Copies of this chain bind each other. A is one copy, B any other.
Amino acid sequence: MGAQEPFVSPGAAGRTPLRPDDGRLQRGRRSRARIREAARALFRERGFDATTLRAIAQRAGMGASSLYRHIRTKEELLVDELQELQEQAWHQFRRRRVSRGGPETASERLRRFLDAEHQLLARDPDLTTIALRATTHPEARVAGQVLALQDRTVGLLAEIMLQGRSRGELRRGVDVLAAARTIAHTTNGARIAWANGQLDGEACRRAIDTAVDVLFQGIGAPPG
């Protein structure tokens, strides 16, 4: 994991920079910041699809083609934001550890994380929408980035469940990874329905909740 170019200057989108970015290349860094800022604002104002690269470039004070010194793809701009939000969700989740009373059950922790995630992602449908769209362009570079993000979410969910399993809250021998994936996929699905206006924000949250419920209880009749 984590082998995703830590700080090796995103500039010159294609070639490997000969020198590492040791802090002397300030102009580029400022440009990158302006681009991100402009993109973020415009996405929020008009939405992703209605925002043209030329508009972003203009607000960032440069020509459209110059953007490509700093980004690889339009989608990358939004995925970066998504990534930040995800980290925020994780951070927020880990910080609020034992808020009150006794230790949480795995199911409670799961819910708490999913709620945090929902709250952040429900700000803008584009965040889900465009990310998923990226995964439908398998040859594109962003696809990998988004999938890595999802994998990380799956990992966290699995971790939560593993803890629960070792405490005997979960059925023995349960395939936690499969369960984690199921949860992740279901949240994606619910959010797509939400983005398409089939669900409002609250209904989406509830759908996710219900899905976790169903998954915990199982749908099969008890063996007895």
Contact = CB atoms under 8 A, between A and B. Distances in A.
A49 interface: yes
A119 interface: no
A107 B218 CA distance: 12
A53 interface: no
A125 interface: yes
A31 to B, nearest CB: 29
A65 interface: no
A169 B221 CA distance: 6
Interface in A37-81: 49
Contacts of A182: 182, 186, 211, 214-215
A216 B210 contact: no
Nearest to A135: B192
Contacts of A26: none
B132 A138 contact: no
B189 A185 contact: yes
Interface in A116-135: 125, 129-130, 132-133, 135
A132 B132 contact: yes
A20 to B, nearest CB: 30
Contacts of A195: 136, 138
A82 interface: no
Interface string A66-100: 00000000000000000000000000000000000
A114 interface: no
A219 B218 contact: yes
A35 interface: no
Contacts of A136: 129-130, 132-133, 136, 192, 195
Interface string A146-161: 0100000000000001
B169 A220 contact: yes
A189 B181 contact: yes
